[in-house]
Amino acid sequence: METQLKRINKFLSEAGYCSRRAADKLIEEGAVTINGKVPEMGTKVGPADEVRVNGKLITEPKSDFVYLAFNKPRGIVCTTDTRREKDNIIDFINYPERIFPVGRLDKYSEGLILLTNDGDIVNKILRARNNHEKEYIVHLNKPIKGDFIEKMGNGVPILDTVTKKCFVEQIGKSSFRIILTQGLNRQIRRMCEYFDYKVAGLKRIRIMNVKLDVEKGKWRELSPNELNDIQSLVSQSDKTHDN
């Protein structure tokens, strides 16, 4: 039946294989097959179709998802590419099921990152327009002077745009707390560099309602209350129209 069909990228996402964005990339690379044939982007699949990625059979979408809060150490890379990156987050955690990180935290940063096999919630969280907060503690290479804090909070021109206004609070001679609602590439580091400061240490301590409360290198499952709050926070996300 038509109602049972869904786009291949959503199928892979709901099966816990990867996010929709990553699925689209796999489809473009020809790594995905449906009944032995490489599909076009947007192809729909049903319960009787055999879906494989790099030859591996992908089962029906899961009903039980995994949601982890991980305290990433400095030096670990947020990638699922375990073949090319030896210090990858997947091998470090060594979780028994396939999971992937929600967004990124660069190699030289540490702190909270979420991992899951629920591709749909990943897509909703990553939409910058949803204004989901991420909080960081930042240590600089020299003391804070002048109106640096005010300027950081009012928007900084980087990457051919101007960052959104945000909350910034000085908490030490050369350290501050910042809450972002967008995730530009190396955003905090670039913002600081614009004012001739370098980041000596960066730790993410909160994502939305989830706080960093585990030791470095350790992870825990999200509590039912945390997950319910996240679902509520992302419930206003733009709905996709594919089945």
pLDDT digits (tens, 9 = 90+) for 57-80: 887 655 578 999 999 999 999 998
pLDDT value of residue 2: 43
Q: For the chain, which residues make up each domain, given as ranges?
A: 2-58, 67-128+214-234, 133-207
Q: What is the CATH number of domain 67-128+214-234?
A: 3.30.70.580
pLDDT value of residue 142: 97
pLDDT value of residue 238: 52
> Which residue, 138, 115, 239, 237, is CA-closest to 195?
138
Q: Which of 106, 147, 196, 229 is catalytic?
A: 106
pLDDT value of residue 49: 86
| pLDDT beneath 50: ranges in the chain | 1-3, 239-243
- Same topology for domains 67-128+214-234 and 133-207, yes or no? yes
Does 106 qualify as catalytic in the annotation? yes
Domain 133-207, classified CATH 3.90.1580.10, yes or no: no
pLDDT value of residue 1: 34
Domain 2-58, classified CATH 3.10.290.10, yes or no: yes
**What's the whole-model pTM score?**
0.75
